[in-house]
Amino acid sequence: MKKIAIMGAMPEEVAPILQKLGEYKTTEYAGNKYYEATYKGVELVVAYSKIGKVFSTLTATTMIEHFSCDTLLFSGVAGAINPNLKIGDLIVATKLSQHDLDITAFGHPMGYVPEGSVFVKSDKELLALSKEVARELEKNVIEGIIATGDQFIHDEKIKENIVKHFNADALEMEGGSVAVVCNALGVPFFILRAISDTADTDASFSFDEFMESSAIISAEFIMKMVDKIIEQ
């Protein structure tokens, strides 16, 4: 049977998903809670990791290695870089990078370490499925590059620097690390984000105002992705 991991970083990002499931079993493991449910004949494991690359790495790894998930979907919010992305809009990551990974002192490009790569590409089949979901929901979803780092960005200059190095459309704090884990363990992944702010000086206020509503928009789309995966 298929076993799908659905991850967020914050409680608000997974709450709408848990609400949809109704009943689930809660297991505590490695300092976190994992919620297991059967949904339309497939097994789901849902968790929020806590914010940042380290916690999201731990959770993604646990979902794959301990709970044996074979597909990973991430639902959450992001700061927009691409001016076409407005609050509540959805972005699907085509590839992801770590914008704060910096050994440029040794002549390497930003985001690169030896034996790694600047970008990790998302799974093509899940991207194709998301196009179908977007069409059916009549949602305008942008496909683009997501840059991940351990900072909440609220500064135009830092944004510009991230664009310069990665040509990113949006930024957040977990996708790039989850992508590295899934890529290394051979598990197809899909990272979806709804915009909560534009990573400028007002970002923290915008985030507080829109994080919850945008998280719901992302979660609704993710559950349609689950339906699509099951239909296949």
Give least dist CB 138 to ligand ADE, A.
Answer: 25
Choosing from 21, 57, 100, 152, the residue that interacts with ligand ADE (CB under 6 A) is 152
Closer to ligand ADE at the Cβ: 141 or 168? 168
Helix (H, G, I), strand (E, B) or coil at 37: strand
Q: Under a CB-based contact definition with an 8 Å cutoff, are residues 221 and 139 in contact?
A: yes
Helix (H, G, I), strand (E, B) or coil at 187: coil
Instruction: Kindly name the residue from 89, 169, 172, 197 that is annotated as catalytic.
Output: 197
Give least dist CB 4 to ligand ADE, A.
Answer: 23
Instruction: Give the closest residue to 129 by CA, choosing from 197, 217, 189, 195.
Output: 189
Rg (CA), the chain: 17
Residue spans of beta strands (DSSP E) within 50-164: 71-80, 90-98, 120-121, 141-148
Q: Under a CB-based contact definition with an 8 Å cutoff, are residues 113 and 103 in contact?
A: yes
Binding of residue 161 to ligand ADE (CB under 6 A): no
Give least dist CB 51 to ligand ADE, A.
Answer: 8
Query: What is the spatial distance between Cα 2 and Cα 70, in angstroms, rounded to a whole number?
Result: 7
Q: Footprint of ligand ADE on residues 31-90 (CB under 6 A)? A: 77-79
Q: Footprint of ligand ADE on residues 173-212 (CB under 6 A)? A: 173, 196-197, 199, 203, 207
Closer to ligand ADE at the Cβ: 69 or 162? 162
Q: Under a CB-based contact definition with an 8 Å cutoff, are residues 83 and 200 in contact?
A: no
> What residues act catalytically?
13, 197
Residues that bind ligand ADE (CB under 6 A): 77-79, 152-154, 171-173, 196-197, 199, 203, 207
